[in-house]
Structure 1
């Protein structure tokens, strides 16, 4: 069976498989964190919005949200679920928004799909370009400890209704990339998608974000928002546009 394009066929079963993910609390955490630091605004970008699950908690809390994702299939699901949210198909590294935003978010290790520092920098520069002065950029990423130690050789599998899924993880010490082989089957079809992630650690993130023009860069842990440790498997990052 040949692997399909990432986040294409997976779009039809993604929400069922991820039904236990607390997107709403991520939205709460993001807004609590930025408002505690004096942020104010009403326009938000959700970069890597997928099927819209991370966009809706922001809209529900009063923000006007535009979701951006590279997968047309994921966006089709998002638009059907949330017709009042605007969604845009675009790449992370060169997207254009119809208006500036006060807040940009990217959750569930979406930015780990950027497989080179150059791609991350281009993305950060696009976000900086579209933020209003004083705007905030908040996202989470898997770090090297997270991908190397938690992913290497691990497997996640189970049933959700009539959907069976099996995700096998590995980490390549040469390329420093993690691979996910996602196999899914339901009553109609079976398919495999292969996804890659690159880890990003706090020292590198600080350099890349500063190069893009961001200041007040913080590395935080979830859910308490305290400073992240060096061995944190996943860090939340907050940066501001002056």
Structure 2
């Protein structure tokens, strides 16, 4: 709930329209869609209400608890790590947004994610995901201290970008009221790490798992990314397997 409180400026409706438009462009208008790192279920809810069969998986039980409250009963929620997730069968499409893929902090683990995606994606299926760029971490975040204060919660975010490793680290301290209008607050300290990847690194990992990178876009557009792009979207397709002649 604190996550949702401080993410209230995220344009989820715009993100949904953009993703749905891409899925429709590549023929994904029905079937099952899985969201990796689904968080509190904002996108799951929107896709489900639009008529899609949805599966959401996340590493955080707390996030999934909130997602359960938001989503319809027929949305399947799984407490799983996307580096080694398991589904009950193949799905028509998958997506992972809000820089969920940047939390995969080395190429070996990135390869593991793409392996699982390829394993559970139908032939010809589509995988959409976004990534924040090196430019964003270096020039926009850098080494800064951010803070926000609300009526019942506040946070302090100390950001550090390690340029040599292309690793972004932030130390997050959150204060949350025990109950509304209470003078008692609970303090939580978290450390988050995200990795900036070059596009060629991502494409190489995809191709090793039989996944073709069809398009790479500037976030929420159909434009080619530039050196100053802060977030990019990858449109990926699993190649259809050739049938053996008998």
1:121 and 2:118 equivalent? Answer: no
Cα distance in 2 between the residues matched to 1:49 and 1:214: 22
Cα distance in 2 between the residues matched to 1:91 and 1:130: 14
Number of the residue aligned with 1:64: 53
Counterpart of 1:54 in 2: which secondary structure? helix
Measure how far apart 1:92 and its partner are: 1.1
1:36 and 2:25 equivalent? Answer: yes
1:150 and 2:150 equivalent? Answer: no
Q: Does structure 2 retain, via aligned residues, the 8 Å contact 1:52–1:75?
A: yes
Q: Which runs of 5+ in 1 are unaligned?
A: 1-11
1:76 and 2:65 equivalent? Answer: yes
Number of the residue aligned with 2:222: 225
Number of the residue aligned with 2:182: none
Number of the residue aligned with 1:5: none
Q: Does structure 2 retain, via aligned residues, the 8 Å contact 1:33–1:225?
A: no
Measure how far apart 1:83 and its partner are: 4.3
- Normalised to the residue count of structure 2, the TM-score between the two structures is 0.88
Number of the residue aligned with 2:14: 25
Mark the CA change 1:217 to 1:230 in structure 2 (over 3 Å): closer, same or farther. farther
1:108 and 2:98 equivalent? Answer: yes
* Equivalent position to 1:206, from 203, 208, 212: 203
Measure how far apart 1:18 and its partner are: 0.7
Counterpart of 1:55 in 2: which secondary structure? helix
Q: Does structure 2 retain, via aligned residues, the 8 Å contact 1:115–1:197?
A: yes
Q: Does structure 2 retain, via aligned residues, the 8 Å contact 1:206–1:217?
A: no
Number of the residue aligned with 1:181: 171
Cα distance in 1 between the residues matched to 2:21 and 2:79: 28
Number of the residue aligned with 1:132: 122
Cα distance in 2 between the residues matched to 1:144 and 1:62: 36
Cα distance in 1 between the residues matched to 2:123 and 2:55: 18
Number of the residue aligned with 2:236: 239
Q: Which runs of 5+ in 2 are unaligned?
A: 179-185, 240-246
Counterpart of 1:30 in 2: which secondary structure? helix
Mark the CA change 1:190 to 1:130 in structure 2 (over 3 Å): closer, same or farther. same
Structure of higher RCO (CA pairs closer than 8 Å, 6+ residues apart): 1
Number of the residue aligned with 1:46: 35
Number of the residue aligned with 1:197: 194
Deviations 1:158-211 (A, max 9, x none): 223311122221101233210111111122301111100001221111111111
Deviations 1:205-237 (A, max 9, x none): 111111111124311012222222243221111
Q: Does structure 2 retain, via aligned residues, the 8 Å contact 1:145–1:233?
A: yes
Cα distance in 1 between the residues matched to 2:50 and 2:57: 19
